Amino acid sequence: MVQADKHPLRKMLQAGAFLKWLYWRYLRVGFSLLPPRVINAITAVMARVQMAAAGRKRQLMLEELRLSSLVKDRGADELILKSFQNQLNSWIKQCYLRKMNEKTIDEYIPAEGLSHIDRALGRGKGAILLNPHFGPYMMAMPALGHRGYKVNQLAIQAESPRVARAGITMLANKARYEAVEKTMPVAFINAGAETFDNFGLRNMAIRDMLTVLRQNEIVLYPPTGRGGRKWHTAPFLGRTANFNLVPYKIALKEGVPLIPVFLIDVTRGGANSRNAARAVIESPIEVSAGDTPEGLLMKYLALLTAYVEKYPEHFAFFQFDMKIKSEWDDHPFFAR
Distance CA(49)–CA(6), nearest Å, equals 25
Distance CA(193)–CA(201), nearest Å, equals 10
> In Å, how far are 133, 154, 156, 189, 216 from 221, measured between CA atoms?
10, 6, 11, 10, 15
pLDDT at 73: 63
pTM of the model: 0.90
Does the pLDDT at position 138 exceed 70?
Answer: yes
pLDDT band at 10 (very low <50, low <70, confident <90, very high): low
Distance CA(253)–CA(250), nearest Å, equals 5
Are 314 and 265 spatial neighbours (Cβ–Cβ below 8 Å)? yes
- The H or E element containing residue 151 is strand 151-155
Does the pLDDT at position 199 exceed 70?
Answer: no
Sign of the four-CA dihedral 112, 116, 121, 126: negative
3 state DSSP class of 99: helix
Backbone φ, ψ for residue 112 (5° rounding): -110, 140
The pLDDT tens digits of the residues spanning 225-261 come to 987 778 999 999 999 999 999 999 999 999 999 999 9
**Residue 155 pairs with which residues in a beta bridge?**
190
Distance CA(275)–CA(143), nearest Å, equals 12
Q: 11-20, 104-113, 118-127 — which is least confidently predicted?
A: 11-20
| Burial tier of 285 (Cβ tally within 10 Å: 0-12, 13-18, 19+) | buried
Q: Are strands 127-130 and 218-221 parallel, antiparallel or unpaired?
A: parallel
| Amino acid, single-letter form, for residue 107 | E
Distance CA(236)–CA(240), nearest Å, equals 6
Does the pLDDT at position 98 exceed 50?
Answer: yes
Per the prediction, the chain carries an average pLDDT of 89
3 state DSSP class of 126: coil
Distance CA(281)–CA(116), nearest Å, equals 7
Q: Fill in the DSSP letter of residue 315.
A: T
Phi-psi region of 241 (alpha: psi -120 to 50; beta: other; left: phi over 0): beta
- The H or E element containing residue 319 is helix 316-325
Determine the average pLDDT of the residues in 17-40.
Answer: 94
Q: Fill in the DSSP letter of residue 158.
A: -
Where along the chain do its domains lie?
A: 8-325
Out of 3.40.1130, 2.60.40, 3.30.1360, 1.10.150, which CATH number does the structure's domain 8-325 have?
Answer: 3.40.1130
Distance CA(122)–CA(116), nearest Å, equals 10
Does the pLDDT at position 333 exceed 50?
Answer: yes
Taking each helix axis from N to C terminus, what angle separates 36-52 and 76-92, rounded to the nearest 10 degrees?
Answer: 130
Are 314 and 308 spatial neighbours (Cβ–Cβ below 8 Å)? yes
End-to-end CA distance of the chain: 49
| Amino acid, single-letter form, for residue 59 | Q
Backbone φ, ψ for residue 331 (5° rounding): -140, 70
More confident residue, 216 or 56: 216
Does the pLDDT at position 164 exceed 60?
Answer: no
Distance CA(133)–CA(153), nearest Å, equals 13
Buried b (16+ CB within 10 A) or exposed e, 105-125: beebbbbebeebbeebbeeeb
